[in-house]
Amino acid sequence: MAFEYDVYSVAWGHGASTAGIVKELNKRGGDGWQLVGMTRDESPEDDHDEEVILFVFCREKKGGAASAKKSGKKGAKKKKK
C-alpha cells in the first residue's frame, strides 16, 4: 500500500476569521485526505502576533500498484505497434 502526503500552511492573526481555513480543511477532507499532524508557531512573548499553522495530510495513493491490485489489474500495458 502506498501513501501520499500533502502539507498546508497558513498564517492566522489574532481575532481573524478562520472561515477560509475551515473551508480548506473541509475541502481536503472531501477529497479523501486525512489530517495526520498539525503544529503551530507562535511567539511566547506576544499574544497578538500572527501564528503560522502547518497541517499535514495523508491518503492512499491514487493509481499505481495499490489501485491496480484492488482492481485486479497488473498495471498499464503498452500498445503494440
3-state secondary structure of 12: strand
Q: Are 23 and 17 within 8 A, CB to CB?
A: no
Report the chain's mean pLDDT, rounded to a whole number. Answer: 81
Output the pLDDT for position 45.
74
Q: Which of 8-17, 27-36, 71-80 has the lowest mean pLDDT?
A: 71-80
Question: Mean pLDDT, to the nearest integer, of 17-43?
Answer: 93
**pTM of the entire structure?**
0.66
3-state secondary structure of 36: strand
Output the pLDDT for position 1.
87
